[in-house]
Chain A
Amino acid sequence: MYCDPYQFDFVKTLEANWLSVRQELSQLRDCDFLTYPEKYLLDGKTGWDIYGIYFLGVRIDLNCEQCPETARLVQAIPGIITAGFSRLAAGAHIVPHSGKPVGVLRCHMGLDVPEKCGLRVGSEIKPWQAGKCLVFDDTSEHEAWNLSDRHRDVMLLDFCVPAGTQARDYYSTAPKAAESLESAASSLT
């Protein structure tokens, strides 16, 4: 499920600073990226590279020094677990898969997004947009593709949902609609 990204305060800050992030990304060389090891997630087993800023709560020191402004923005995000750049090569397709339930949500901020790219989460398909965030529950089945002739870059973040809440509390559509209908019905009775 997708979530309304603006429920999270850090999203506005990230979007306001997206050009600085893209500037730092543009200074990286191809060899600075690492091939993502879970190749079975890719149709054709190739085409997904990443550049880690934070990984599983651990700061990737040398990369933070290479991208200081991005690192500063990431460090300010409450509950940050993993952050970095995710590069999907031209023609690459990450096949449907689901993450493990660990109480985190995933945010993608578009940085360099060609046409013919998309992200399906559950039954909903959205394209990335430069400087805009998408937030979704990684445990929902999702897949991503880049059918253009150049790579697609996004900033990828995994963050813990605030204590006492669950990822599903932030879903943007059905649960909230159902909740408001329920409260409207109870106010009538």
Chain B
Amino acid sequence: MSDLPEPGYDSAIAGPPPRIHSSKSGFKETLAQGWEFVRFVWKMSSRIRSPKNRLRFVIGLILWKPILPKE
């Protein structure tokens, strides 16, 4: 999470805050990202009753959202 800016910072006028953390991710982080994705799919699909819809959800998610980021 970003550090909170100094009091008095008005986001609507000043625009977005600067990026603080590096965008680079190593192999471990990439792997962790993939695992997070699997956990997300599992948890969300467990809230769907019909097995057919669950399958649709999983396939849709795989086709629409790649597991690993492109950057």
A interface residues with partner B (beta carbon < 8 Å) = 34-40, 42-47, 52, 55-63, 89-93, 95-96, 100, 102, 115-118, 120, 125, 127, 143, 145, 147, 149
B interface residues with partner A (beta carbon < 8 Å) = 1-5, 9-12, 15-17, 19-21, 23, 25, 33, 36-37, 39-40, 43-44, 47-50, 53, 56-57, 60-61, 64-65, 69, 71
CB within 8 Å for A95 and B4 given contacts A35-B40, A63-B47:
no
CB within 8 Å for A120 and B15 given contacts A40-B25, A40-B71:
yes
Contacting pair A147 B23 (CB below 8 A): no
List 18 contacting pairs A-B, 8 Å CB cutoff, sorted by A.
A35-B36, A37-B33, A40-B71, A44-B21, A56-B61, A58-B53, A61-B48, A61-B53, A63-B47, A91-B3, A92-B2, A93-B17, A102-B64, A115-B11, A118-B12, A120-B16, A147-B2, A147-B11
Q: How far is the CA of A58 from the CA of B56 in the complex (A)?
A: 7
Residues on B with C-beta less than 8 A from A58 are 48, 53, 56-57, 60
**Looking at B44, B50, B53, which has the most chain A CB atoms within 10 Å of its CB?**
B44
CB within 8 Å for A143 and B16 given contacts A34-B43, A61-B48, A61-B49:
yes
